[in-house]
Structure 1
Amino acid sequence: MTQIPIILLAAGQSRRMRGADKLLQEIDGCPLLLRSAQTARAASSVIVALPSKPHPRYDVLQGLDLHLVEIADAEEGMNASLRGALSAVGQEAEAVMVLLADLPEITLDDLQTLIKATKAYPDKLIWRGSTASGQPGHPVIFSRLLFDQISRLTGDEGAQSVVRDHPDKVHLCVLPGQHAVLDLDTPEAWDIWTKNRNS
């Protein structure tokens, strides 16, 4: 399989952060969005779905080798971002990785684990990060055979319906700890995670 581009979903509105932008929260002095983009770029080419301009998230990513896609209808939810970013994926891509920008523990090793799984399990159509107990999460790689179905999605469910439609074509890739499922959507979640990380 040729290089798998990464769609980094970063157009959400952080409504549960009560005025703060979770993607601009800093980890070791680095905004989460920048950290996620740099991790993704180390693994592959990256298409970033972003809110309409002007927005401070653009400033955070300035100067990086990324393809930034403005999602004019981002208020619709995650699938607007998926559709917009997917339209920027080149014809040569045999698959695409969908990565949420708010997963603070995702590493380059995690992304490479999923990419390697596409070669180890070529009979599958979906390769998905999970916990050791089998709880599915992110990132998720989708075969090009599913691009058309993804491009027709609407609303805020993401591609969960696509995954449900192909249960026998999903391979779960175990990632360390809670890497695949930990996102930080509230100030309280950020405080708890930061305290545990620094303890």
Structure 2
Amino acid sequence: MKPGIIIAAAGRAERYRKAGGKGNKLDALLNDDSVFAQTLRHARASDLAVHVVTRPENIQIQALCSAQQVPVTLIESSGLGESIAAGVSATPHWDGWLVHLADMPFVAPAVFVEVAQALAFHLLVRPCTNAQPGHPVGFSHVWFSKLCQLTGDNGARELLRGENMHFINVSDVESQRDIDLPSQLTQQNEKNHAAS
């Protein structure tokens, strides 16, 4: 079994709402589709297995996953660490995990593939743009137990501290942008219209 992609889609999007955003930011429209739909589409186009972790109230996300036969774990997550633990626990048969954030819709399928392939030779793999570490973060199967024990909101940051990470250079800086604020939805739409 190859590594697969865990999409963490169980956050509360507090920054988005405080900035005036309405509803779930993952359902927000971005270039003719929702933020989550684009993240899911790019992940699935990698031909890797995909598993989504989301909240019970995220009905649109569940519907999208159901329509595409993507397995879902529902969780009242208190933070990213708990979401990762739930996703990894649900996929113990995978050879490794690419932990990805649902609000990062610009990562190309090729990046997922590169990270997954590098996991055959490295225990930890991560894309990098302009010396900044990005997503998805790849973990080999030796990390299974520790990933399953994660809690809190730091994700796997504590696990990674002091560990030997293999970085893959990605030239597309835009690919590593996330959607945190309503204004970022508009900016991206304007950029795409200007380019077309």
Counterpart in 2 of 1:97?
A: 98
Is this contact kept in 1: 2:119–2:140, CA < 8 A? no
Matches within 5 A, 1:74-93: 74=77, 76-91=78-93, 93=94
CA distance in 1, matches of 2:58, 2:137: 29
Is this contact kept in 2: 1:53–1:70, CA < 8 A? no
In the TM superposition, what is the alpha-carbon distance from 1:108 to its structure 2 partner? 0.8
Secondary structure at the aligned position of 1:69 is classed as strand
RMSD after superposition = 1.7
Counterpart in 2 of 1:52?
A: 56
- Alignment counterpart, residue 161 of structure 1, candidates 158, 171, 187: 158
Secondary structure at the aligned position of 1:188 is classed as helix
Counterpart in 2 of 1:68?
A: 72
Secondary structure at the aligned position of 2:135 is classed as strand
- 1:125 paired to 2:136: no
Counterpart in 1 of 2:25?
A: 22
Counterpart in 2 of 1:137?
A: 134
Alignment gaps of 5+ in structure 2: none
CA distance in 2, matches of 1:142, 1:179: 24
Length-normalised TM-score, structure 2:
0.88
Length-normalised TM-score, structure 1:
0.87
Counterpart in 2 of 1:114?
A: 115
In the TM superposition, what is the alpha-carbon distance from 1:182 to its structure 2 partner? 0.7
CA distance in 2, matches of 1:94, 1:116: 11
CA distance in 1, matches of 2:150, 2:119: 24
CA distance in 1, matches of 2:39, 2:52: 10
Q: What fraction of aligned residue pairs are identical, expressed as a percent?
A: 25
Secondary structure at the aligned position of 1:52 is classed as coil
- 1:34 paired to 2:34: no
Secondary structure at the aligned position of 1:173 is classed as strand
Alignment gaps of 5+ in structure 1: none
Is this contact kept in 2: 1:14–1:21, CA < 8 A? yes
Is this contact kept in 2: 1:129–1:180, CA < 8 A? no
CA distance in 2, matches of 1:67, 1:60: 11
